[in-house]
Amino acid sequence: MNAQDALGNDGERRRRFARIALSFVAGPGDLVLGALLRSCGPAEAFAAVCDGRPPGPDGAAGPGGFPGLSRALARWAARLDAVPTDAKLAAWERAGIRIVCPGDPEWPTQLDVLGAARPLLLWLRGCADLRLACLRSVSVVGARAATAYGRHVATEMAAALAERDWAVISGGAYGIDGCAHLGALGGGGVTVSVLASGLSYGYPQGHHELFAAIAKQGAVVSEWPPDRSPTRPGFLVRNRVIAALSRGTVVVEAALRSGALNTARHARDLCRPLMAVPGPVTSTMSEGCHEIIREWGAVCVTRAQDVIEHVSPVGEGLADRRRGPARPRDSLDPKATAVLEAVPARAGAGPAAIAAAAGLDLDTTMRCLGALAAAGFVERCARGWRIRKNT
Amino acid sequence: MNAQDALGNDGERRRRFARIALSFVAGPGDLVLGALLRSCGPAEAFAAVCDGRPPGPDGAAGPGGFPGLSRALARWAARLDAVPTDAKLAAWERAGIRIVCPGDPEWPTQLDVLGAARPLLLWLRGCADLRLACLRSVSVVGARAATAYGRHVATEMAAALAERDWAVISGGAYGIDGCAHLGALGGGGVTVSVLASGLSYGYPQGHHELFAAIAKQGAVVSEWPPDRSPTRPGFLVRNRVIAALSRGTVVVEAALRSGALNTARHARDLCRPLMAVPGPVTSTMSEGCHEIIREWGAVCVTRAQDVIEHVSPVGEGLADRRRGPARPRDSLDPKATAVLEAVPARAGAGPAAIAAAAGLDLDTTMRCLGALAAAGFVERCARGWRIRKNT
C-alpha cells in the first residue's frame, strides 16, 4: 500500500467517523446540517461543531450563508458528550447492527432525492442488502388502530407483493405496519421496517419478535442511534425515508389525521406513485384513503397487481384485466343474442313474434332458434318457444 | 279562432298522434327512426310507415340516405296493428298516465343531447313536473343484488340529496334503485323512476307500492307503451335516459358486469359528471365502482355533499372540508408544540434537556412549559417535567 492509499483510507475513515458523530449531535432531517453538508464534507462540519464556529478560514458559510447556522452549531456542541466511544460502536457492531453511509455499496441512492433532508446515515440490522431490496419495493402504510378489514387487506396485499418478488417497506407500528411485514414474511419475501426509534430500543416493545423475524428475512433500519427512544415528531421525520426508499406508496387504511397521510404527502411531493385502498364509506378509518383518492389523485388500488402495474415502467407488470364471471351467452353471435333476448321467459312466443321483436327475418330467426335449442338456451312449449330454465 | 289557428292546432294534433303511433311500432332508441325524424316531421315519418315507402315525392331519403330504412319501414309496418285506438289512449289518460313530447313545456330538454337516440316521447305518472324536477337532479344507480352496505349507503345518500333539494333519478329495480327512491322519499324530496317496462305493467311487481309512492311525490317515467313487459335489451336502452336526465350519475354499488356500469358509460359518453362510491375491496359487489374510479376517472364520493359539489357549477355547492377530530394541542403555537413534543411521557426531564430536544433556548422553553402546565398539558415531577395524563 503506498502513502497515497493510506492517506485516502484514513480520510475515508475520518469522514465516516464524522458522519457517525454528527448523527449523535444533530437530529435526523436537520435541514441546517443538511445545508452545511452541501458546502463542506462531514469532517469539516464536525470540526466546526467542535470549534463552535462555521468552517473555512473566515467562516466560509459567512453571513446569510445558512440561516441559523451559529445557533445550530451551539445546539449541536451542547450534545457532544453523546458521541459514543469506539468501544460502544464496536459493541453495537457485535450486536449485529451495521452502519450504511452515502457512498457505501449498500446505500440506497434513491434517498438522495431528499436533498438537504437526506439521512446522514442509516443504522441497519438484517440479512438483506438494503439497496438491492429497495430497487423493487413498495411502501405499505396505514393506521395503528386498524380495523379487521384493514389488517386483512394489508396482510394479503403484502403477501401477494412478496410472492411476486416485490419487497415491502413500512414502519414498525401495530396495525397496518405490522400486518404488512407479517404478510411479506408469510409470502416468503423481503421486508424492511424503518423505525423512528433506535434499533436496540425497538419501539414498540410488543414487536421485538417481529423485528427479529424481519431482520432474518429483510432489514430493520433507523436514522436514530441504537439506544434512542422515539419522540412524536420523530415519526413524521422518519416518514420521508419510508416514502423515498420505495418505488411507490400504498395507504391501506387511514383516518383523516393518520400519520400515514404524512407519508403519503412525502410520496406525492417526491412525485412517487401514490395509491390508496378504498374501504367502506361508513368507516372513519378509510376516510383518509378516500380523501387522497378524491383530492390528491391517489390511484384507487384493490389488489397487489394494481400496485405493481402502477409502480412498474410503462408496459411492464401489467395486471390481468378484471372480468366478471363468464356467462354462457357471452359466446353467442349478435343475431343469436338478439333472438335469445326476444324469447320470453315463461309464456312462450311464436317464431313470427320473436322475429319481429328481434328485428330479424323469419328464416334467420328460425335458424337461430334451432341453434339456441341445441345449445340448451331455449325450448319449445305449447305457445312456441321459451327460455329453458337452468336444470 | 281563425282558419290558420285551427289548421295549426290540427297540425300539432296530427304530429302528436304520429309520435304516439310511432312509439308503438318502433322500439325506444331505434336509431333508424331517430335519423328519419331528423329529416322529416313525425307525421311524414308515420305516413311513410303506412305507405311502406320513404317520405318525399321520390323517396327523399334516397339510396344511402338511411342505411336500413326500407327494411325498417317494413318492420314497423308489420306492427301497425299495435297502434292503440283513441279509446285506449283515453283510458290510459284516465288512469293518470300522461304523455310528454319534445316541445311540451314539461319536456326535459337535456334529453336532446341524445341526438338520434332521443326518446320519441315519455309516458309519465306522477305529480312532479319532469323538466323542473330534473334541473337539479342526480342519478343514483347500482346493483339489484346489493349488499346491506350498498343499500344503506344508497338510502342515506338519496335522503341527504333530497334534504338539500336535489331530485334523485334511478331505475325501478330491487336493490340500489329501490333504496335510492326510498331514501329520497324519506328525505321529503322528489324522486324519478325511469322504467324499462310500461307504466301499467310496472316491473318488478314487488315495487308496485313503491311506484305509487314515487308518483305521489315525484314521477314514474317510461319510453314504452303502458302495457309493455320489459325485455333484457330494454334495460340497456333505458339506461341512456337515466344518464341523460340528470346532472351527473353516482354508482353506489356494482359488480364488474352490473348494468349500472352501462348507465355509467352513458354518463361518461355524454360528458356528464360520473361518480362512484367505494366499498370494501373484499366485496365483489364494489369491484365495478373501484374499476371506474381507477380506469375511467370516476370521482370517488363518500357522501351527498361530495356529489353536490361535483355536479354544481364551479364555486357552488361546496362541501365542508373534511376534518378529523380536533385535538387540544392543535391550538398551540409552534414553539409550545415543539416544547410539548420534547417533554417525555413518563420519566420526566429537566428544562435544559427539553430545551435541547426542542431546539429552543432555555428562557423560551421555561415560558412555554409554564403555559403548557397552566393549560394542563404537562406537570412537574421528581425529575423535572412530564406529560400530564388525561384525567
| Phi and psi, residue B123, nearest 5° | -90, 140
Spatial contact of B134 and B192, defined as CB atoms under 8 Å apart: yes
Following CA atoms A21, A24, A25, A29 in sequence, which dihedral angle do they give, to the nearest 10 degrees? 110
Burial A365-379 (b: 16+ CB within 10 A, else e): beebbebbeeeebbe
Antiparallel, parallel or unpaired: β B122-125 and B219-222: antiparallel
Q: What is the structure's pLDDT at A5? A: 52
Which of B194, B189, B184 lies closest to B155, judged by CA? B184
Nearest neighbour of B280 by CB, restricted to A257, A280, A293: A280
Q: What is the pLDDT of residues B340-388, one digit of tens each?
A: 888 877 778 888 888 888 878 888 999 999 889 888 888 888 888 888 8
Contact criterion met (CB < 8 Å) for B278 and A286: yes
A386 pLDDT band, cuts 50/70/90, is confident
Which of A322, A359, A324 lies closest to A339, judged by CA? A359
The H or E element containing residue B141 is strand B137-141
Q: Which residues does chain B have within 8 Å of residue A278's beta carbon, measured at their own beta carbons?
A: 278-279, 281, 286, 290, 293, 300
Q: How far apart are CA A286 and CA A143, in angstroms?
A: 9
Query: Has residue A9 got a pLDDT over 80?
Result: no
Q: What is the structure's pLDDT at A10? A: 84
Q: Chain A to chain B, count of Cβ pairs less than 8 Å apart?
A: 97
- Per the prediction, chain A carries an average pLDDT of 91
Of A28-37, A70-79, B228-237, B267-276, where does the model show the most confidence?
B267-276
Please give the residue of chain A at the shortest CA–CA distance from B355: A75
Please give the residue of chain B at the shortest CA–CA distance from A254: B324
% of chain A beyond a pLDDT of 70: 95
Does the global pTM surpass 0.80?
Answer: yes
Nearest neighbour of B322 by CB, restricted to A256, A277, A338: A256
Query: Has residue B22 got a pLDDT over 70?
Result: yes
Which of B170, B106, B141, B168 lies closest to B292, judged by CA? B141
Nearest neighbour of B294 by CB, restricted to A152, A294, A299: A299
Please give the residue of chain B at the shortest CA–CA distance from A301: B294
Of A293-297, A379-383, B6-10, B202-206, where does the model show the most confidence?
A293-297
Question: What is the pLDDT averaged over residues B224-250?
Answer: 94
State the nearest Cα–Cα gap between A141 and chain B, in angstroms.
17
Please give the residue of chain A at the shortest CA–CA distance from B325: A257
Q: Which residues does chain A have within 8 Å of residue B279's beta carbon, measured at their own beta carbons?
A: 278-281
- Angle, alpha carbons A127-A128-A130 (nearest 5°): 135
Spatial contact of A220 and A247, defined as CB atoms under 8 Å apart: no
Query: Has residue A391 got a pLDDT over 60?
Result: no
Spatial contact of A108 and A86, defined as CB atoms under 8 Å apart: no
Q: Which residues does chain A have within 8 Å of residue B302's beta carbon, measured at their own beta carbons?
A: 281, 287, 290, 294
Q: What is the structure's pLDDT at B344? A: 78
Q: Which residues does chain A have within 8 Å of residue B152's beta carbon, measured at their own beta carbons?
A: 282
Nearest neighbour of B291 by CB, restricted to A232, A299, A322: A322
Q: Which residues does chain A have within 8 Å of residue B334's beta carbon, measured at their own beta carbons?
A: none
Contacting residues for B136 by C-beta, under 8 A, at least 6 apart: B165, B166, B167, B247
Query: Has residue B39 got a pLDDT over 50?
Result: yes
Nearest neighbour of B279 by CB, restricted to A280, A299, A344: A280
Q: How far apart are CA B9 and CA B6, in angstroms?
A: 5
Spatial contact of B226 and B211, defined as CB atoms under 8 Å apart: no
Q: Which residues does chain B have within 8 Å of residue A149's beta carbon, measured at their own beta carbons?
A: 280, 282
Contact criterion met (CB < 8 Å) for A278 and B290: yes
Structure ipTM: 0.81
Antiparallel, parallel or unpaired: β B249-251 and B137-141: parallel
- Per the prediction, chain B carries an average pLDDT of 91
Q: Is the preceding omega at residue A63 within 30 degrees of 0, hence cis? A: no
Please give the residue of chain B at the shortest CA–CA distance from A149: B280
Q: What is the pLDDT of residues B76-88, one digit of tens each?
A: 999 999 999 999 9
Spatial contact of A386 and A353, defined as CB atoms under 8 Å apart: no
Residue B251: HSE in the Cβ half-sphere, 13 Å Cα cutoff: 38
Contact criterion met (CB < 8 Å) for B302 and A281: yes
A326 pLDDT band, cuts 50/70/90, is confident
Q: How far apart are CA A101 and CA A98, in angstroms?
A: 10
Query: Has residue B63 got a pLDDT over 80?
Result: no
Q: Which residues does chain B have within 8 Å of residue A359's beta carbon, measured at their own beta carbons?
A: 75
Nearest neighbour of A291 by CB, restricted to B152, B231, B322: B322
Contacting residues for B319 by C-beta, under 8 A, at least 6 apart: B303, B305, B306, B308, B309
Query: Has residue A259 got a pLDDT over 60?
Result: yes
Name the DSSP letter for residue A195. E
Please give the residue of chain B at the shortest CA–CA distance from A258: B324
Q: How far apart are CA A36 and CA B5, in angstroms?
A: 91
DSSP letters for A121-176: -EEEESSS-HHHHHHTEEEEE--SS--HHHHHHHHHHHHHHHHTT-EEEE-S-TTH
Q: What is the pLDDT of residues A96-145, one digit of tens each?
A: 999 999 999 999 999 999 999 999 999 999 999 999 999 999 999 999 99
Contact criterion met (CB < 8 Å) for A256 and B323: yes
Q: Which residues does chain A have within 8 Å of residue B306's beta carbon, measured at their own beta carbons?
A: 294
Please give the residue of chain B at the shortest CA–CA distance from A304: B281
State the nearest Cα–Cα gap between B237 and chain A, in angstroms.
13
Nearest neighbour of A324 by CB, restricted to B232, B255, B290: B255
Contact criterion met (CB < 8 Å) for B149 and A280: yes
Residue the block writes with cell 334451432: A370
Q: How far apart are CA B133 and CA B303, in angstroms?
A: 21
Spatial contact of A94 and A39, defined as CB atoms under 8 Å apart: no
Q: What is the pLDDT of residues A187-232, one digit of tens each?
A: 999 999 999 999 999 899 999 999 999 999 999 999 999 999 888 8
Nearest neighbour of B233 by CB, restricted to A153, A322, A341: A341
Residue A4 CB burial class (10 angstroms; 0-12, 13-18, ≥19) = exposed
